[in-house]
């Protein structure tokens, strides 16, 4: 290929306003520009993505290549076609994503085992009810047994899921009956987490599986081992050990950092360390140590999904989402950024060099050159957490000039599926019936799960917030996780009544009646399994079909960037969902002149829809994602025989009705409310 054909185009440098819609981020980016400091945003501007690799047209699986398939009909040196190459690249990404989530789940299972045996300093079983509920699903005896004994059996069962060689992963039994039948008939029911990931890597070694549909068939199985395996295990155990989330007041954005306190930011994914850092930060000895250093105390906050884990359980504020990890350091106010696994940029260490921030790695699996490493071990967790905080406090005296953007918003996170069940039906008849009824009546048009990352190739937070804002106007109930939830929190959509003036009339009535925000924060990225559980419970409640693919619902990851996102997307599609991903399209390159070739993008769409009732599309334009979301929801409503969406029917009850009659004399008001004047 001629040199000019592969030249990587350079993009122009974006202004802070073009790079992010978040004013706090804009302020920090302007400061970075002024000081000439690089961030992921400026690096993305300076280096356009490789247009061959990003479209899935490059194979680097062996030493004969990398092979770049840039013209119709080209193959790799071994003869691999573009659809084979794209399928292999895709399944490898799914395997990595599934491995990341599931290894997190495995570590949680080992922690549960240690807690059950009294070997984990500082941890207890916080949610015994959830422990009993989960154990009972697997026929683990629960009557007349101590929580520790039940936890020990559950930990053993969960640990076994990773190395299991045959049979079916235990959590799969929680899927709708019809769905399990589809998976069994198609042969994609996951057997063991490690087995599916290893097989994905084996199949993609040079000279193995070369039929695209066959490769993608195993991508589905590998992803299901994540969604209905490793991730579900992680969520269950986090709830058992740290408490099932329930609504709590929190705050989000860089304005949560404090100028007179030692700021410690926890970043990554696993709640085992962050929960212990929360406990240690409240220890009188540590508070006294901070005061002796001249600070008012310790101010803990989070970035990415570690933020979500401690936000939805303890109300610890979120300093921001993925693209704000560097921006937090730019404030000059962070004494320590404590990281564990996933979504941690190597650039943090170089950036921290310009300020006084200490980057502290803690996972035995993750080290970054020149970072401070204090290894975490759940057996001595509290002592280690205290040592980490002391490192941060000792660093307070090195703080220089600070600039904390004065932007933050309040939010109410913590909508686990258990809490949604409870809030809709109360303690005595917890139920999804009111939600199903509201959808069936058209008061709620449908449900959208907006999840996933932020990506510096897209204006930060813009797709998340544009789509959320418009779907709410269209009476679509939105549930969110991960960095998307933090984006909406910063916009004020996660705060009780605060966002209701921007919500359609039917959805507003439901939010006012139940007392919920229009966007429900359901947790971190492993907690996308909570969304699977909600969809399953909606199906089991009745009235919205017999399987997840019949529910008027859509999944969106508008600013995706991680391999975990591809695994999540795939298990959601295999579970019956229509999923749209915004931004980069890893199967954009087409081999449409190759005889008998499968077009991978088409296979994700119509091929998977035929098999699973769900489909995957990569789209650039948020307006198009909104249009397709509404079309899909309306089509599913029609297929269920539900009334077409008609917002004019709603909005005249609840608070709107009260406001309308507010100025009327008492008797007229009573007549309007009760249809008569009550006897005095």
From CA 451, how far away is CA 558, in angstroms rounded?
8
**Comparison of 84 and 308: residue with beta carbon closer to ligand MSK:** 308
Q: Which of 152, 223, 468, 562 binds ligand MSK (CB under 6 A)?
A: 562
DSSP reduced 3-state for 450: strand
| Phi, psi for residue 399 in degrees, rounded to 5 | -65, 135
Least Cβ distance, residue 165 to ligand MSK (angstroms):
29
State in angstroms the smallest separation of the CB of 570 from ligand MSK. 15
- What are the E-state strand segments in 37-160? 58-59, 67-68
Q: Total residues at the site for ligand MSK (CB under 6 A)?
A: 14
What is the spatial distance between Cα 146 and Cα 116, in angstroms, rounded to a whole number? 10
Q: CA 474, CA 502: separation in Å to the nearest integer? A: 10
Residue 95's SS3 state is helix
325 touches ligand MSK by CB under 6 A: no
> Which whole-number Å values give the CA distances from 509 to 47, 515, 649, 654, in the listed order?
48, 10, 11, 6
The phi and psi torsions of 335 (rounded to 5 degrees) equal -75, -40
Q: Select 504 or 558, whichever has its Cβ closest to ligand MSK.
A: 558
Whole-angstrom Cα distance, residue 533 to residue 232?
A: 9
Q: Is 438 exposed, middle or buried (0-12, 13-18, 19+ CB in 10 A)?
A: buried
Shortest Å distance, C-beta 478 to ligand MSK: 16
Nearer to ligand MSK, 253 or 562 (CB): 562
Give me the least distance between CB of 561 and ligand MSK, in Å please.
Answer: 6
Considering beta carbons, is residue 164 or 468 the nearer one to ligand MSK?
468
Nearer to ligand MSK, 24 or 115 (CB): 24
Q: Is residue 123 at the binding interface for ligand MSK, with CB under 6 A as the rule?
A: no
- Binding string, residues 623-642; x marks residues near ligand MSK by CB under 6 A: --------------------
Q: Which of 312, 329, 453, 601 binds ligand MSK (CB under 6 A)?
A: 453
The residue among 151 and 525 lying less far from ligand MSK, judged by its C-beta, is 525
Q: How far is the CB of 198 from ligand MSK (least distance, A)?
A: 23
Tell me, what DSSP letter sits at residue 20?
A: B
Dist CA 17 CA 426 (whole Å): 45
Give the residue with the Cβ less far from ligand MSK, 210 or 223: 223
Question: According to the binding rule CB under 6 A, does residue 564 interact with ligand MSK?
Answer: yes
Pick the closest to residue 82 from 257, 212, 228 (CA basis): 212
Beta-carbon contacts of 566 under 8 Å, excluding residues fewer than 6 positions away, are 90, 93, 94, 97, 560, 586
CB of 665 to ligand MSK, least distance (A): 54
Helix or strand run (H / E) with residue 493: none
Q: How far is the CB of 291 from ligand MSK (least distance, A)?
A: 33
Report how far residue 449's alpha carbon sits from residue 417's, in angstroms, rounded to the nearest whole number.
13
| Nearer to ligand MSK among residue 339 and residue 438 (C-beta) | 339
Q: Which is nearer to ligand MSK, 231 or 436 (CB)?
A: 231
- Between 305 and 334, CB nearer to ligand MSK: 305
Q: Smallest distance, Å, CB 279 to ligand MSK?
A: 22
> Residues 122, 482, 504, 555: which binds ligand MSK (CB under 6 A)?
482
Report the nearest approach of ligand MSK to the CB of residue 482 (Å): 3
Token pair 């356009």 is found at 48
Chain residues 164-183 in contact with ligand MSK, contact rule CB under 6 A: none
Rounded to a whole number of angstroms, the minimum distance from the CB of residue 569 to ligand MSK is 12
In whole angstroms, give the CA distance from residue 417 to residue 414. 9
Burial of 209 by CB count in 10 Å (0-12 exposed, 13-18 middle, 19+ buried)? buried
- By CB under 6 A, the residues from 347 to 366 that bind ligand MSK are none
Q: Residue holding tokens 């418009």? A: 470
* Residue 19 Cβ vs ligand MSK, minimum distance, rounded to whole Å: 17
Question: Per-residue x/- marks for ligand MSK, 517-556, CB under 6 A?
Answer: -------xx-------------------------------
114 versus 256: smaller Cβ distance to ligand MSK: 256
Distant-in-sequence, close-in-space partners of 479: CB < 8 Å, separation ≥ 6: 415, 447, 448, 449, 450, 519, 520, 522, 531, 534
Q: What residues pair up with 479 in beta bridges, in sequence order?
A: 449, 520
The yes or no reply on residue 305 touching ligand MSK (CB under 6 A) is yes
Is residue 452 near ligand MSK by the rule CB under 6 A?
A: yes
Query: Taking CB under 6 A as the rule, which mask of x and - marks residues 327-346 in contact with ligand MSK?
Result: ----------------x---
The CB-of-321 to ligand MSK minimum distance in angstroms stands at: 6
| Residues in region 257-286 near ligand MSK by CB under 6 A | 269
**Hey, what are 636's tokens?**
């599913």
Select 98 or 395, whichever has its Cβ closest to ligand MSK: 98
CA distances (Å), origin 307, targets 269, 371, 580 = 8, 21, 25
The C-alpha atoms of residue 549 and residue 402 are separated, in whole angstroms, by 51
Residues that bind ligand MSK (CB under 6 A): 269, 304-305, 321-322, 343, 452-453, 482-483, 524-525, 562, 564
């Amino acid at each position: 290929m001629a040199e000019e054909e592969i030249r990587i185009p350079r993009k122009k440098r974006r202004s802070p306003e073009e790079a992010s819609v978040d004013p706090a981020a804009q302020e920090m980016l302007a400061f970075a520009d002024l000081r000439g400091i690089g961030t992921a945003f400026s690096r993305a501007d300076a280096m356009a993505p490789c247009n061959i690799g990003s479209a899935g047209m490059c194979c680097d699986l062996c030493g004969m290549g990398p092979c770049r398939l840039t013209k119709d009909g080209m193959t790799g040196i071994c003869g691999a076609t573009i659809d084979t190459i794209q399928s292999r690249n895709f399944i490898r990404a799914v395997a990595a994503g599934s491995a990341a989530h599931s290894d997190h789940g495995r570590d949680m299972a080992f922690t549960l085992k240690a807690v059950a045996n009294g070997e984990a300093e500082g941890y207890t079983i916080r949610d015994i009810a959830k422990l009993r509920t989960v154990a009972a699903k697997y026929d683990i005896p629960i009557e007349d047994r101590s929580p520790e004994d039940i936890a020990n059996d559950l930990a053993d069962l969960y640990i076994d899921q990773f190395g299991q060689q045959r049979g079916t992963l235990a959590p799969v039994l929680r899927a709708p009956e019809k769905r399990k039948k589809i998976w069994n008939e198609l042969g994609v029911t996951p057997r063991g987490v490690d087995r599916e990931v290893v097989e994905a890597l084996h199949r993609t070694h040079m000279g193995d599986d070369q039929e695209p549909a066959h490769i993608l068939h195993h991508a589905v199985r590998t992803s299901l081992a994540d969604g209905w395996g490793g991730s579900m295990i992680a969520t269950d155990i986090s709830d058992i050990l740290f408490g099932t989330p329930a609504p709590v007041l929190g705050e989000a954005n860089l304005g949560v950092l404090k100028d007179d306190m030692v700021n410690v930011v926890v970043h990554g994914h696993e709640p085992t360390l962050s929960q212990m850092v929360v406990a240690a930060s409240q220890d009188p000895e540590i508070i006294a140590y901070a005061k002796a250093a001249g600070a008012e105390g310790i101010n803990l906050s989070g970035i990415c999904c570690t933020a979500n884990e401690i936000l939805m359980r303890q109300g610890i504020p979120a300093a921001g989402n993925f693209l704000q990890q560097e921006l937090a350091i730019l404030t000059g106010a962070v004494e320590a950024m404590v990281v564990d696994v996933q979504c941690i940029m190597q650039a943090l260490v170089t950036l921290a060099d310009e300020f006084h921030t200490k980057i502290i790695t803690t996972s035995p699996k993750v080290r970054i050159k020149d970072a401070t490493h204090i290894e975490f071990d759940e057996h001595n967790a509290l002592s280690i957490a205290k040592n980490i905080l002391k490192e941060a406090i000792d660093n307070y005296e090195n703080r220089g000039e600070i600039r904390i953007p004065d932007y933050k918003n309040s939010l109410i996170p913590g909508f686990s599926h258990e809490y949604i069940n409870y809030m809709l039906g109360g303690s005595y008849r917890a139920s999804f019936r009111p939600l199903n009824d509201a959808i069936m009546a058209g008061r709620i048009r449908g449900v959208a799960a907006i999840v996933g990352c932020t990506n510096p190739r897209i204006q930060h937070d813009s797709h998340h917030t544009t789509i959320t804002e418009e779907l709410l106007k269209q009476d679509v109930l939105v549930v969110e996780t991960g960095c998307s939830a933090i984006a909406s929190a910063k916009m004020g959509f996660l705060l009780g009544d605060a966002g209701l003036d921007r919500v359609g009339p039917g959805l507003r009535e439901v939010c006012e009646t139940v007392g919920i925000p229009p966007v429900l924060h359901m947790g971190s990225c492993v907690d996308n399994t909570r969304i699977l559980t909600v969809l399953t419970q909606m199906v089991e409640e009745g009235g919205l079909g017999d399987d997840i693919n019949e529910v008027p619902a859509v999944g969106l990851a508008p600013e995706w960037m991680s391999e975990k996102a591809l695994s999540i997307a795939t298990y959601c599609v295999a579970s019956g969902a229509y999923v749209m991903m915004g931004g980069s399209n890893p199967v954009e390159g087409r081999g449409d002149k190759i005889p008998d070739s499968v077009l991978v993008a088409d296979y994700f769409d119509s091929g998977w829809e035929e098999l699973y009732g769900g489909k995957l599309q990569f789209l650039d334009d948020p307006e198009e994602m909104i249009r397709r979301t509404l079309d899909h929801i309306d089509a599913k409503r029609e297929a269920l025989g539900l009334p077409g969406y008609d917002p004019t029917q709603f909005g005249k009850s609840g608070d709107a009705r009260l406001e309308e009659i507010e100025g009327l004399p008492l008797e007229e008001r009573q007549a309007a409310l009760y249809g008569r004047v009550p006897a005095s």
